[in-house]
Amino acid sequence: AQKVTQAQTEISVVEKEDVTLDCVYETRDTTYYLFWYKQPPSGELVFLIRRNSFDEQNEISGRYSWNFQKSTSSFNFTITASQVVDSAVYFCALSEVNYGNNRLAFGKGNQVVVIP
């Protein structure tokens, strides 16, 4: 069963628009971690953020912000005022403490295309 769902496969936005990427996860663990990674066209995987299940504070880092809601099992990611350099595939991932040995279960990714 898919533990992490990223429903939007490809999202195109015009530069300077905001874009929100949805991530819904599924777990029976009470302790878990959520991550976002970016994969630009060059192919490497770049870590963006880690959140544990006890920390529901939203986070902002520059133009990036994350909204964690345990009640809806969602960990959404917003890019504000998008730029062409934001064009990439973004992956949400889950790591469960009581099951998983720190393995990352990835969603299928959101391909973001920022049009100049």
Partner 1 sequence: DTAVSQTPKYLVTQMGNDKSIKCEQNLGHDTMYWYKQDSKKFLKIMFSYNNKELIINETVPNRFSPKSPDKAHLNLHINSLELGDSAVYFCASSPATSGVHNEQFFGPGTRLTVL
Whole-angstrom Cα Rg for the chain: 14
User: Is residue 105 near partner 1 by the rule CB under 8 A?
Assistant: yes
Could you say which of 25, 33, 75, 77 contacts partner 1 (CB under 8 A)? 33
User: Is residue 44 near partner 1 by the rule CB under 8 A?
Assistant: yes
Q: Are 34 and 50 in contact (CB under 8 A)?
A: yes
Q: Are 104 and 23 in contact (CB under 8 A)?
A: no
The values of phi and psi at residue 50, to 5°, are -130, 140
Decide whether 50 or 63 has the Cβ nearer to partner 1.
50
Q: Are 55 and 30 in contact (CB under 8 A)?
A: no
User: Is residue 47 near partner 1 by the rule CB under 8 A?
Assistant: yes
User: Is residue 45 near partner 1 by the rule CB under 8 A?
Assistant: yes
Closest among 61, 58, 29 to 46, alpha carbons compared: 61
Binding mask 75-104 for partner 1 (x = CB under 8 A): --------------x-x---x-x---xxxx
How crowded is the C-beta side of 89, counted as CA atoms within 13 Å?
Answer: 14
In the complex, least distance from residue 91 CB atom to partner 1, rounded to whole angstroms: 7
Q: Which residue ranges make up the site for partner 1 (CB under 8 A)?
A: 32-33, 35, 37, 39, 43-45, 47, 50, 52, 89, 91, 95, 97, 101-106, 108-109, 111
